[in-house]
Chain A
């Protein structure tokens, strides 16, 4: 590929700390999102290791004060959901979306910076709970009242209030980010980039942002009501004062179920970019995929009560039916992905391997979810380790594998250097094995009756072996982070230079330098499909058949002399 006269050849981002702290560049903000998220990923992981260590064998080993155990799994889940998965995907989106639609930045760069800086602040507030008398929040990441209300054996300390304030802050960050994405996607697309030529990653960020803007404020309302109950004598969720305990669950899950799609749709977007590139084929059923994404988003608002089947307070058949229906668009996507691989020419670079990890593991997360959709079966499985297995197959097997696919895919674009392929593969193998060792046995534990969130279990319950296996797996996952971190460390210093387009990418971010200049593009190729760079390389292959317009083949027309349109606009 041609080099660009205007693009800096040296790796950028060597700017001073002050420049990073005050930047409004979506690329730097995106990278800061990623760094911040991985920092909290490690913290959340440490809490998971504490929990797994305690559960490795029957008997209390670690947590003589069981309140600390409850704090550990509560903070583990809160950190992983609100400070890792949601922000890390927002970070990838932040980096990729403006580049993918050919925009110079997000629509509101300063609000973008504000969204980011609320995250570390929220994280610090959350963890500050450990310094308060009574410790951090310990009522689970769901914090159901009355357990999360004040009360001698409930949540008397300020840790729970810090949890609430932290989540409101992080939620506000999400909402502002979501608005920013929507305006960027609707208003900042390059000429020719129609809605149905947008990369799938952009589509998933679009649907995700709609979910964030519409659902996140609802959890904010639940949180402020809880805060009022706790601190100003309110009675929303206190039955003895005329409130209703289940009301919180309804409002909470009205957000938190769509939040599951917030946590998985962008990861689906990532692998929908990776699979076509490394198969040298277009995504199979591009439009069907978009409709399926929108369908999941819409159905996501009508299934919240499937988290509440055992409360005796919801209309079971409706929510069961809607929950089953979600399987249909999800299945459509699964087949689209598999048929993208089918009859392709696959290059097994690390991004593709992680994307395949996503496919194989997310499939299990979909299938074991169907068990809980069958209401009577859910009576057996709800709040057992089966659910823990299910949610980790979706959020770890799905989202986290997708996140790593994205990191390996865009790292060359972000830094100008390639990550090591062999370290990447070691990382994948360790993580894949560790992941399955940890979470597959949880199916067995759940079906045999082990409830979640218990610090100990009887030695004769038949749960010992599976628990030990899960703990070994947990530590394997922890170990798998070492080759990854080492890979990032050495590749930043001496990795192979990436060039503009190391993967023969399809989308616009590969048309600029690596890393891109602050304004992103000197010029753009023609956009006449969802794969503008592919078209530039190979000619337009439309849905009507290959080579249908191949005489119009436009080679990467990036020669000099076309930056007159950089001039000021009237």
Chain B
């Protein structure tokens, strides 16, 4: 019962080869139709462009390996099916030192090459002026808290200029000038978050008790007709029930626009809240441990009123007091959030008599962050 050399019609090989080619043609067509589906979005920072280049190299090697190995598998399946005439065993090949050494060495060389180029790219991407004794053009401290971002602008000496506290949907976000080195430090006061902007091809964790940092420069070519360009960003590390609403945006603009924007932010921060209408009743409400200290508030109907609001949570956690209409969904009063450790006076326009729900727009759905406002 010894083995016999295999006699197979040449047409077998033709068919098998044909199917392999056909398969890859289909894969190629599908990839061509889905277009850039497997490519990263267009990179907008100097660093992202490097990452994108690296991605292209890895992708090319990946496709080559995929085609070679899957091709070999499909070929073997089609070519070497057992036929009724196959009574004798096929050659009992136990191995072949030559090819085994080859397929150990070639992947080793490939991965060493990949390691070398990714290290090179890493050095560019992780470069920061601060680590190299220079001063960045812009310094921003991103403060992450469940579930909102704040961006504190710092001057060359690390001193506070102004803080952007607005929520993502309410004009919030991080403005930066194009073509400038922007140095970002990351701070969290509660759990781990991650600063992620897909078009920067970049994310970094915001770890409580540890200050991470990175630097980027937005390509000036991103401004079309000098108009600001907005890039979507969001938290990428699970941070609780509001993880998906922890959005922000990076708005790249010309230096002149940026200067004006920052000046306005300083102005807003310095402005004293408009004086409460005289005679308006002043209610008080506090927030601590992601919960209001009162569940019920009373206000007179058809008259303006004021809530004296104190946020006693850590600095990274913002709160506000918005009001839902009777239907529980329409927002009839929308205030801007304030950071932890600060207080403000919110003035509310007259409301008709009825029962309303007040809530924190940063923490929608959190049981402690809602209550009933009775207007009569």
Contacts and interface: CB of A to CB of B under 8 A. Distances in A.
Interface of A: 65-67, 70, 138-140, 144, 146-147, 151-154, 239-240, 243-246, 279-282, 284-288, 310-313, 316-317, 320-321, 324-325, 327-328, 331-332, 334-335, 338-339, 341-348, 356, 359-360, 363-364, 367-368, 370-371, 373-377, 379-380, 382-384, 443-444, 447-449, 451-457, 461, 538-539, 541-543, 546-547, 550, 553
B66 A359 contact: no
B27 to A, nearest CB: 11
Nearest to B124: A376
Contacts of B207: 245-246, 311-313
A182 to B, nearest CB: 27
Q: Which 3 A-B pairs have the closest CB atoms?
A: A239-B209, A449-B198, A312-B212
A374 to B, nearest CB: 4
Nearest to A312: B212
Nearest to A66: B241
B162 interface: no
Which of B38, B54, B66, B244 has the most C-beta atoms of chain A within 10 angstroms of its own C-beta? B244
Contacts of A377: 51, 54-55, 58, 118, 201
Contacts of A339: 93, 99
Given A67-B241, A152-B290, A377-B118, A344 B80 contact: yes
B93 A282 contact: yes
A310 B194 contact: yes
B236 A451 contact: yes
Contacts of B111: 324-325, 327-328, 370
Given A66-B241, A379-B201, A453-B243, A346 B77 contact: yes
Interface string B89-109: 111111110011001100110
A310 B203 contact: yes
Interface stretch (B68-76, B265-273, B328-336): B68-76
Nearest to A63: B241
Contacts of A364: 66
Contacts of A461: 232
A334 B104 CA distance: 11
A367 B100 contact: no
A541 B1 CA distance: 11
B3 interface: yes
Contacts of B125: 376, 379
B45 to A, nearest CB: 12
A547 B91 CA distance: 10
Given A245-B209, A380-B203, A457-B244, 18 more contacts: A243-B209, A281-B91, A284-B94, A287-B95, A331-B104, A341-B77, A346-B77, A360-B73, A363-B66, A363-B69, A367-B66, A370-B62, A376-B50, A380-B198, A383-B237, A447-B38, A449-B199, A455-B243
A70 B365 contact: no
A327 B235 CA distance: 31
B191 interface: yes
B55 to A, nearest CB: 5
Given A371-B55, A377-B51, A550-B2, A284 B93 contact: yes
Nearest to B120: A376
A147 B103 contact: no
A78 B48 CA distance: 34
A317 B121 CA distance: 11
B178 interface: no
Contacts of B118: 320, 373-377
Contacts of B39: 447
Contacts, number: 291
Contacts of A312: 204-205, 207, 210, 212-213
7 contacts: A144-B238, A338-B69, A346-B81, A371-B59, A374-B118, A377-B55, A380-B203
A546 B122 contact: no
Contact of B94 (A140, A246, A543): A543
B154 interface: no
A363 B51 CA distance: 24
A310 B242 contact: no
B192 A383 contact: no
A428 to B, nearest CB: 13
Contact of A239 (B94, B210, B290): B210
B81 A281 contact: no
A316 B243 CA distance: 27
A66 B90 contact: no
B192 A448 contact: no
B368 interface: yes
B241 A342 contact: no
Given A152-B291, A345-B80, A338 B72 contact: yes
Given A324-B115, A327-B111, A370-B114, A447 B40 contact: yes
A380 B208 contact: no
B119 interface: yes
A273 B350 CA distance: 78
Nearest to A384: B236
A288 B119 contact: no
Nearest to A547: B2
Contacts of B236: 382-384, 451-452
B196 interface: yes
Interface string B5-38: 0100000000000000000000000000010011
A376 B51 contact: yes
B223 interface: no
B190 A383 contact: no
B94 A380 contact: no
Given A140-B238, A146-B208, A371-B62, A380 B80 contact: no
Contact of B240 (A154, A343, A376, A457): A154
Contacts of A359: 73
B280 interface: no
Nearest to A330: B107
Nearest to A239: B209
A376 B115 CA distance: 11
Contacts of A452: 236, 238
A288 B95 contact: yes
A373 B113 CA distance: 12
A335 B104 CA distance: 10
Given A383-B236, A447-B38, A341 B76 contact: yes
A154 B119 CA distance: 36
Nearest to A347: B82
Given A147-B238, A360-B73, A376-B122, A345 B37 contact: no
Contacts of A324: 111-112, 114-115
Contact of A320 (B115, B198, B244, B368): B115
Nearest to B146: A153
Contacts of B112: 324
Contacts of A66: 241-242, 244, 365
Nearest to B3: A546
Contact of B95 (A284, A367, A373, A538): A284
Interface in B183-204: 190-192, 194, 196, 198-199, 201-204
A376 B95 CA distance: 38
B326 interface: no
B276 interface: no
B354 interface: no
Nearest to B119: A317
Contact of B104 (A152, A332, A344): A332
B89 A331 contact: no
Contacts of A367: 62, 65-66
Contacts of A374: 54-55, 58, 114, 117-118, 121
A538 B4 CA distance: 13
Contacts of B366: 152-153
B210 A444 contact: no
A152 B368 contact: yes
B103 A379 contact: no
B85 to A, nearest CB: 10
Given A371-B55, A375-B118, A443 B244 contact: no
A139 B104 CA distance: 41
